[in-house]
Structure formats: C-alpha cells, structure tokens
Structure 1
Amino acid sequence: MDTMRDRFAPVVSRLLDEDPRVAVVLAEIGKDAFEAAMRKHPDRVINVGIREQLLVGAGAGLALAGLRPVVHTFASFLVERPFEQIKLDFGHQGLGGVLVSAAASFDWPAGGFTHMAPGDVALLDTLDGWTVHVPGHPDEAETLLRHAVAAGDDKVYVRLSVQANARALPVDGERFLTVREGRGGVVVAVGPLLDQVLAATEGLDVSVLYATTVRPFDERALRRAAGAADSADVVVVEPYLAGTSTAAVNDALADLPHRVLGLGVGRRELRRYGQVEEHLTAHGLDAGSLRGRISGFLNAGTSVRTS
C-alpha cells in the first residue's frame, strides 16, 4: 500500500490543473514530487528553500492575493517552528489556507526529536477556527485533502502519517463514524490508531467511534454514543499528545456525569529512537497496551458506580 504522503503530490497536482486558485508552497521537503507541476504552473508552485517562517508567510501572502495556498513540510517545521506566522499571518489577518504536514509524531525516528511533533494539534488548539483532519488511510487522505482545498477560505490542517489502518472508511470531513456499538463506555479512535483500538477492544462491550476530523469535534456523535451506553465514560486514543482532546470531550458532555481518559503520545522524550513500532509500544499505543489501559479505566468506573 502506498502512503498518505505518496498521495499528496499527485492529488494536489491535479487540483492545480483543476482550480486556478490553488497554489503550493514548499520548503525543500517534497519538492521533487512537484517537479512536473512546477514546470506546468511556475507561478503557483513555489519553493522557498529551508525557510519555514517564510514558507507560512508566503502562503498567507498568496491568500491575500485571492489564492488558495497549500503549504507543506514536516509537522515540526510547519506548526512548531513558524507558529508565530500561523498565529499572525493567517489568524490575525483573517486568512485561510491549507497546511499539510508529514512525519506526524514520530514517523521518522532516525531524524531525531527535531523531526517529531506530537504537540502540533494541541498547539493549533490555542488558535481559533482551525479545522483539523487526521486521516487513517491513504484513500482517506486523498478525500480529506480535496475537502480541505475546497473549503472556501477556511483554515485547515491536514496531518499525514506513514502509519495507516488496513482499510479506508467513507469519511466526509465532518463526522465521526460509529464502527462498533456497546454499552460499557465509548472509545474514540483517531486516524491511524483505529486498527490498534479495534484489536484492543475486541470482545469488550464498548462503542468505538472513528474520528478523522477532530476539529471541530463531533459533539453530536459523542453524545449519541454516550447516551446509548450504560456509562458515559470516554477514552480518546490519539496519535499525538495524550490528552489533546479531553477538554473537547468534557465540553461535549458537560451536562452528563462522565469520566474521560486521554491516551496518546507521552511528554517524555524517547532518546533511543528505534522504529515507529517501538515508539507505539513505548507510548502504550499498541493493541496489547491499549487493551489493559482501556479495560482498566472502564472497569474502575464500573466499580465506582456499583459500590
């Protein structure tokens, strides 16, 4: 299976042909995949070199000129390093654009901590009005990329990863999908962690919701699942910083008795970089670890309620 990032350049190159508003801004990373598009659309495919603050600023400048910029590099260089430009050049000026990241939380361990960005979504949560897509399969990435570019002048972040589920689901850029129904609690699986969550919850009486668009947070789907269960306890399993969406869950269920557990990437830096699978295990995001953490949390809630 190809990767989400393998789909990125072909999809956006087609969008360049289809829509004269679309423009692409790169910072060296990924430029080879756009060579043909750059020759065809030299005024709308721009490589600024290794200048990430300029990358975002140039994207905002294109938005000021009426274009729909697609801005791409690794997540750590796209969200963390030029955060001030995202905050001011896009946010303060009321401009829209599409930020598309690669490398996710730890997709390239050999690159070291400079190339890891588990805090990207939490950082964007400090700003207003960003839609955040976290696809879990290359087909979903293609769908969500098209949604993002077509989203008028909205601010959209698309988080691509080499991690992926075995099969794609019909995502629509808005709603959570109900993958499994149960009465003992709700587990929200985000993007490429769905397969791990399904394996972890096999045989457990829980509902599993699949989230590929996490901002705005689908409060209606969560309330529906929590209302249908005997317990409004919720576990959110995210491929980025643990606890990123716990506030969103609390807001959605503010009028209901509930507990929430946020599982994701821990704050502790792993200095022996290893492989992606080793990072999953170290952060407790493999199926075996998740089963123990999820069942322990939900069973503890049952004990409290029945005591």
Structure 2
Amino acid sequence: MDTMRDRFAPAVSRMLDEDPRVAVVVAEIGAAALDGARARHPDRVINVGIREQLLIGAGAGLALTGMRPVVHTFASFLVERPFEQVKLDLGHQDAGAVLVSAAASFDWPAGGFTHMAPGDVALLDTLDGWTVHVPGHPDEAETLLRHAVRPGDPSADGKVYVRLSVQANSTALPVDGERFLVVREGRCGVVLAVGPMLDAVLAATEGLDVTVLYATTVRPFDAAALRWSAEHATADVVLVEPYLAGTSTAAANDALADVPHRVLGLGVGRRELRRYGTVEEHVAAHGLDAGSLRERIGAFLAGGRVPVAG
C-alpha cells in the first residue's frame, strides 16, 4: 500500500489544475514530487528553500491576496519551528491556509528528535479556529485534503491542519471531515481511536463490550458523537491518539461536563526516547501496540490502576 504522503503530490497537483486559486508552498522537502505541477504552474508552486518561517509567511501572503495556499513539510518544521508565524501571520491576520505535514510523531526515527513532533496538535490547540484532520489511511488522506482545500469554493478558506503519517489502518472508512464514526457498539465504555490508531484499538478491544469511535477530524471535536456514545454505555472514555497523550482529554471532559464520567488519555509519552529504533519499536515503547492497549484499556475500565508506558 502506498503512503499518505505518496498521495499528497498527485492529489494537490490535480487541485492546481482544477482551480487557479490553489497554490503550493514547500521548503525543499517534497519539492521533487511536484516537478510536473511546477512545470505546468510555475507561478503557483513555490519552493522557498530551507526557510520554515518564510514558508508560513509566504503562505499567509498568498492567502491575503485571495489564493488558497497548501503549505507542506515535516510536522516539526511546519508547526513547531515557525510557530510564531503560524500564530501571527495566519492566526492574527485571519489568513486561511492548509498546512499539510509529514513524519508525524516518530515516522522517521533515524532523523532523531529534531524530526519528531508528537506535540503538534496540542500546540495548535493553543490557537483559535483551526480544523485538524488526522487520516488513518491514504484514501482518507486524499478525501480530507480535498475537504480542506475545497477547490472552487472560496467560501471555505479557513485554517486547516492535515496530519499525514506512514502509519495506516488496513482499510479506509467513509470519512466526511466532520463527524466521528461508530465502528463498534458496546455497553461498558467508549474507546475513541484517532486516525492510524484504529486497527490497534480494534485488536485491543476484541471481545470487550465497548463502543469504538473513529475520529479523523479531531478539531472541531465531535462532542455530540461522544455524548451519544456515553449515553448508551458506561461513561468511561479512553482516548487513543497518535500524538501527545492527553491532547484531547479537555475536549472530552467538556463534552461530558454534565455527565458523571472518567477519561483516560493514551498516546505518545512526554519522555524523549533517545534511540532511533524503528517505528514499531517506538509504538511499543509508548504502549500503543495492541497488546499494551488491551492491558491499559482493560485495567481502566475495570477500575484498576492503569500502567503508564515510558
């Protein structure tokens, strides 16, 4: 199966062909994959070089002229390094852009901690008005990218973050860029799997009497879906996110503010893992493999003390 990032260049190239408002800005990373699109649209495919602050600034400038910019690089260079520009050039100026990341939390372990960004969604949570998509399959990535850019629809020029990953579920689901999906229904708790965590969550909860929700759009948070699920099951909620553990616990608590409930946030731990290893080894070290998830989810739902990875 190809990766989400493999789908990015062909998908955005088609959007460049469809809509003269669409522009793409990169900072060297991923530029070669857009050579064909650059040849057709030299004024709308821009490589600023290894200048991440300029990357965001150029995208914001294009947005202020009425363009719909798609800005792409690794997550650590797209959200963390130029965060001041994200905050001011886009947020303060109310300029809409689509930020599309790669490498996710630890997709390229050999790159070291400079190329990891498990805190990207939590960081964007400090700003107002962002939509955040976390696809779990390459097909979903294409769907959500198109939903974010919306070629031909200038009324939808908001601030959107699309988080691509090499981790993926085996099967795509019909995502709509808004709602959580009910994948399995049960009575003894709710487990919310975000993006590429779904396969591991389904394996971890096999045989357990729990509802499994699937989220690929996490901001805005679909409070109605979580409330509905909690009303039809014990209001014990486990969030399994592919980024910093606990990123969405506040959103879940707000959704259930008037309902007695408990929330457990599972995800990437704060402790830095200083050995490169493999993606699979990082998943296991953070307790996000199916076996570890089953132990931690089961202990929480049983009211016991949950082991904390890392």
Residue 175 of structure 2 is aligned to residue 171 of structure 1: yes
- How far does residue 153 in structure 1 lie from its aligned partner after superposition? 1.1
| Partner of residue 206, structure 1 | 210
- Matched to 1:170, the amino acid is P
- How far does residue 15 in structure 1 lie from its aligned partner after superposition? 0.0
Superposition misfits of 4+ residues, deviation over 6 angstroms:
none
Q: Map Cα deviations across residues 155-203 of structure 1 (whole Å, 9 max, x no partner).
A: 0000000000000000000000000000000000000010000000000
Residue 244 of structure 2 is aligned to residue 241 of structure 1: yes
| Partner of residue 109, structure 1 | 109
**In terms of mean alpha carbon deviation, does 142-151 or 25-34 score higher?**
142-151
Q: Map Cα deviations across residues 199-254 of structure 1 (whole Å, 9 max, x no partner).
A: 0000000000000000000000000000001x101000000000000000000000
TM-score relative to the length of structure 1 = 0.97
Matches within 5 A, 1:250-289: 250-289=253-292
User: What are the ranges of 5 or more consecutive residues in structure 2 without an aligned counterpart?
Assistant: 305-310
Q: Map Cα deviations across residues 111-164 of structure 1 (whole Å, 9 max, x no partner).
A: 000000000000000000000000000000000000000171100000000000
The 1-side partners of 2:21 and 2:230 are apart by 42
Q: Secondary structure at the match of 1:73?
A: strand
Q: Secondary structure at the match of 1:300?
A: coil
The 2-side partners of 1:36 and 1:87 are apart by 32
The 2-side partners of 1:219 and 1:273 are apart by 37
| Partner of residue 153, structure 1 | 157
Q: Secondary structure at the match of 1:77?
A: helix
User: Which of 219, 225, 239 is matched with 1:221 structurally?
Assistant: 225
Q: Secondary structure at the match of 1:101?
A: strand
Q: Secondary structure at the match of 1:239?
A: strand
| Partner of residue 94, structure 1 | 94
- Matched to 1:288, the amino acid is G
The 2-side partners of 1:72 and 1:272 are apart by 27
- How far does residue 273 in structure 1 lie from its aligned partner after superposition? 1.4
Matches within 5 A, 1:57-206: 57-150=57-150, 152-206=156-210
Q: Secondary structure at the match of 2:246?
A: coil
Q: Secondary structure at the match of 1:141?
A: helix
Q: Secondary structure at the match of 1:248?
A: helix
User: Which of 283, 292, 296 is matched with 1:293 structurally?
Assistant: 296
The 1-side partners of 2:66 and 2:45 are apart by 15
**How many residues in Structure 1 have an aligned counterpart in Structure 2?**
300
Q: Secondary structure at the match of 1:183?
A: coil
- Matched to 2:241, the amino acid is E
| Partner of residue 55, structure 1 | 55
Matches within 5 A, 1:4-43: 4-43=4-43
- Matched to 1:111, the amino acid is G
Q: Secondary structure at the match of 2:293?
A: helix
Q: Map Cα deviations across residues 19-52 of structure 1 (whole Å, 9 max, x no partner).
A: 1110000000000100011111011000000000
Question: What is the percentage of aligned positions where both structures have the same residue?
Answer: 84
